[in-house]
Chain A
């Protein structure tokens, strides 16, 4: 199906996301921290990136996604955050291949976001 990169420091949440994505038949790789996410993205060449905004090490999720999409505009992305701001909402709503998920989000919201982004490809 699709290659998905998950960057999330909260392991409990990352585990749930990976399970759901794998059950849907996607190839999933995960990491924590902004730097490792950058490296993994180069190696994996993902179709979809799912990243937390506040990663343990720089860059933050938004910067990571912006950098990656500057290189590969076809990559779609979900940014997750526990502290949503107007700035992040505006950033995500400006581009249909981006989605902001505000924590805590439900399983249904997550599946819908993934399905919508991958369908658009």
Chain B
């Protein structure tokens, strides 16, 4: 009641309750800089009861607003509480003046920002890490709004496409697309309407100086902090892979042609050989009796044309042998690894998992690298077509007494015992429409035989195991 009778004391009591109720440190210093008022938050942050602070200066206490004597000041100050714990306090202090101009008191408020500052630091660190990651990956990384406007692109965009990031920011993906890809990409973007939805697509983006670059991309929708939908896009330059695949197709064609040519050479040269020899024997006899007769002339033409047939087959073989003559030392492990890389795209498509278990430091083999690579490509493709996904394919290499043996094992349907010998025949296929040309294994066998090696189907518990043995350099025909 006494308090109520004195409005000023009542006001001070209310102010005290208010001050104790907030978690902001509040200090009032007299003109000499001694604490005349401290609230409860002081104790929470500084570990010292408010009444112990009274009459002392912040400097004596080892903390305090450095600019306490200034007119008005703010700043972060590290303070050490009684238990030695360092806290970071954001202070604001203000000097109040009496009507005569003398300092009346200093009011200082402080907020414990230790955790907040640490969080900010963590956030900055995390942002830095993700930015560095996005800016240093080999892929193109972009963020778009839900309707396809660029909000971020990483520097790879400039490396691959030639335009600086500013070229994209705020501009629509549509403007960068090849006109023929517009409909497809718009449809894909429209499908990305909910967080978590992800789509793949191949698109062509404009390149500086003309032309387009083919990118294989994956986009995923996610909610931004403001609640709107964003798209995270990661894209890879396909040009390089496309070139490698084109090279493989070319080699494939040549090897296929080589197998055809070899088959044709054998089938044609044998009867043509009989025709040439037979016609020449007959011609010889005919010449003894009627050297200028019709029969002799006809036999001469037959022999000439038989020779021509031989020459045609010979040039076909020579054409198919383009690039096959080059023979060098090779590490089978490297050839196996290259073949595995070449079929990676196909493996993804087929839902097959490749595992390589290579024995290091194998003796080198001598041969044509592209051809041996083709053997492994064909075996791997064959394995990927050996059954339904998910397929697991293992490639192993090891040393043998005379060279190197590589095995390709799959856990597919396997090859029935009675067709094992026939799998290497041209055009023999158990895969119906799903498989390739029916030449893959025939080609593999021819290449391996040309290198003095052997290819066979081995017994295994489940699936199929192909073994390729190649003699090492200095052994066997090379």
Binding site for B on A (CB under 8 A): 9-10, 12-13, 15-17, 19-20, 52, 54, 80-87, 90-91, 102-108, 110
Contact = CB atoms under 8 A, between A and B. Distances in A.
Given A91-B477, A103-B269, A13 B281 contact: no
Closest 3 CB pairs of A and B: A82-B269, A12-B274, A103-B273
Contacts of A87: 450, 452, 477
Contact of A19 (B262, B266, B273, B281): B281
Given A12-B278, A13-B273, A17-B277, A85 B450 contact: yes
A13 to B, nearest CB: 4
12 contacts: A12-B271, A13-B277, A16-B277, A86-B325, A103-B272, A103-B310, A104-B273, A104-B310, A106-B276, A106-B307, A107-B276, A107-B280
A16 to B, nearest CB: 4
A106 B303 CA distance: 9
B265 A82 contact: yes
B309 A104 contact: yes
Given A87-B452, A104-B306, A104-B309, A54 B274 contact: no
B3 interface: no
B447 to A, nearest CB: 12
B273 A82 contact: yes
A121 B139 CA distance: 72
Contacts of B276: 104-107
B275 to A, nearest CB: 7
Nearest to A10: B270
A82 B317 CA distance: 11
Given A87-B477, A106-B280, A16 B274 contact: yes
Given A83-B262, A87-B450, A87-B477, A107 B277 contact: yes
A104 B265 contact: no
Contacts of B277: 13, 16-17, 20, 104-107, 110
Interface of B: 262, 265-278, 280-281, 284, 303, 306-307, 309-310, 317, 325, 450, 452, 477
Contacts of B281: 16, 19-20, 107
A17 B127 CA distance: 86
A16 B317 CA distance: 26
A12 B270 CA distance: 9
Contacts of B267: 82
Given A83-B262, A105-B273, 9 more contacts: A10-B273, A12-B274, A13-B277, A83-B266, A83-B317, A103-B269, A103-B272, A106-B280, A106-B307
Contacts of B275: 12, 104
Contacts of A91: 477
Nearest to B476: A87
A84 B310 CA distance: 12
A20 to B, nearest CB: 6
Given A86-B325, A87-B450, A103 B270 contact: yes
Contacts of A20: 277, 281
A51 to B, nearest CB: 13
B450 A10 contact: no
A80 B303 CA distance: 19
A105 B284 CA distance: 16
Contacts of B284: 107
Contacts of A85: 450
B280 A10 contact: no
A103 B314 CA distance: 10
Contacts of B262: 83
A10 B274 contact: yes
A54 B273 CA distance: 14
A13 B452 contact: no
Contacts of A15: 274, 278
A70 B271 CA distance: 31
B325 A82 contact: no
Which of B266, B267, B273, B310 has the most CB atoms of chain A within a 10 A radius of its CB?
A: B273
A114 to B, nearest CB: 13
A107 B280 CA distance: 6
B280 A54 contact: no
A108 B276 CA distance: 11
A86 to B, nearest CB: 7
Contacts of B274: 10, 12-13, 15-16
Contacts of A84: 317
A36 B190 CA distance: 74
Which of A12, A17, A108 has the most CB atoms of chain B within a 10 A radius of its CB?
A: A12
B338 to A, nearest CB: 24
A82 B266 CA distance: 5
A50 B477 CA distance: 22
B186 to A, nearest CB: 56
A105 B306 CA distance: 10
A19 B307 CA distance: 21
Given A103-B310, A105-B276, A107-B280, A82 B268 contact: yes
